[in-house]
Amino acid sequence: MFGPVLLAAARSDGIRRLVSTARVTRPVVDRFVAGEGLETCLETVRSLTARGLDVTLDHLGEDTTDRLEAKRNRDAYLALAHALAAEGLGARAEMSVKLTAFGQALPGGGHDIAIANVRPVVEAAAEAGTTVTLDMEDHTTVDSTLAVLDELRAGFPQTGAVLQSYLFRTEDDCKALAGQGSRVRLVKGAYNEPASVAYQRKADVDRAYVRCLKILLSGSGYPMVGTHDPRMVAVAQELARRLGRKHDEFEFQMLYGIRESEQLRLASEGHRMRVYVPYGTDWYGYFMRRLAERPANLGFFLRSLATR
Ligand code: FAD
């Protein structure tokens, strides 16, 4: 019931200022975000990889409204890629980027600005022995993001993308991206989407997730199963078993701070388990989406406000 309100708040500058500057918010944010700077993020990477988990790193930022900020976001990712290379972490750590942080929504050529900013990051990732996955944002960005993916994959075929099962179009997108060499993270979707483009009932989103899993796991690409849902994890395991997929032919992904014992359990069973680790100062939109996903997260936040 609170989900749509929180997702609307995620895009409100006024509420952003209020929540971001409230000191009480910080301990709750720390549950989901691995610090503000690169060094803290790298400490988290070392600790997670030492426990058998792989990572994908997100330098927080989205909905960039000016070109300079888009370049600053690009530079943050370049610094991250260089740090991963210096630490020899390329085999365990990849990077996730939001194209709106790179200028995708800027008027007058946002799509091209985003490509110009993301390309050097993808090159730096390859030099560091790793790769980039393009996060998926709201439905208005999907065509542009998949077109950027196409361009990037021409030079860097290992570049990945995210597909969201709540969108009606996604089964077709899964079919188009189930081929050799493609890397797709399947998620349910985290934005406030209208009934004209997306399923509104959780049961329909879940059923679509299973259909998409079938398409991706039956294909010849590398599926990345992004969910905390025990039912979806079990379905993916069963489908993989039936389809003869080995443990290194797909992976599970979960968000930092969510279901950690399940992350470790899957890794201990021999699955590749990748943790999505966000860091940086621009945590507001990410944080609000986590609150919207789960009433228990919202309750934790409200209780921490009440006890201050
Ligand atoms: P839900 O349907 O939210 O929950 C189902 C069940 O999972 C719950 O009943 C509960 O049993 C369990 N569960 C869920 N959360 C918790 C929790 N906090 N603690 C304990 N149990 C829990 N969305 C996008 O739109 N674009 C992206 O690029 C994107 N990238 C993502 C990357 C990763 C690695 C992951 C894991 C998610 C990403 N998402 C992204 C978010 C995603 O779309 C969902 O909003 C989010 O994962 C919640 O859906 P769910 O499948 O985890 O399960």
Query: Residue 126 corresponds to which tokens in the numbers above?
Result: 């390859």
Domain with 130 in it: what CATH number? Answer: 3.20.20.220
Cα–ligand 1 centroid distance for 68 (angstroms): 32
236: left (phi over 0), alpha (psi -120 to 50) or beta: alpha
Number of domains the chain contains: 1
Residue 140 lies in a domain: yes
Residue 259 lies in a domain: yes
Residue 104 lies in a domain: yes
Per-residue model confidence as pLDDT tens digits over 102-138: 999 999 999 999 999 999 999 999 999 999 999 999 9
Residue nearest to atom 36 of ligand 1 (CA): 254
Per-residue model confidence as pLDDT tens digits over 9-54: 777 777 776 666 666 567 778 889 999 999 999 999 999 999 999 9
Per-residue model confidence as pLDDT tens digits over 214-261: 999 999 999 999 999 999 999 999 999 999 999 999 999 999 999 999
Residue 58 lies in a domain: yes
Residue 207 has pLDDT above 90, yes or no: yes
Residue 14 lies in a domain: no
The preferred substitution site among 63, 169, 229 for testing ligand 1, maximizing ligand atoms within 8 Å of CB, is 229
Residue 38 lies in a domain: yes
The preferred substitution site among 32, 228, 301 for testing ligand 1, maximizing ligand atoms within 8 Å of CB, is 228
- Which amino acids are annotated catalytic? 135, 185
> In sequence order, what are the residues at sequence separation of 6 or more whose Cβ sits closer than 8 angstroms to the Cβ of residue 61?
69, 73, 76, 98, 101, 280, 282
Cα–ligand 1 centroid distance for 189 (angstroms): 8
ipTM over 0.90: yes
Side-chain half-sphere CA neighbours of 282 within 13 A: 16
Residue 222 lies in a domain: yes
Give the Å distances, CA to CA, from 41 to 27, 90, 192. 16, 15, 29
Residues with CB under 6 A from ligand 1: 135-136, 162, 164, 185, 187-191, 226-230, 232, 253-255, 258-259, 276, 293-294
Domain that holds residue 77: 34-282
Residue 88 lies in a domain: yes
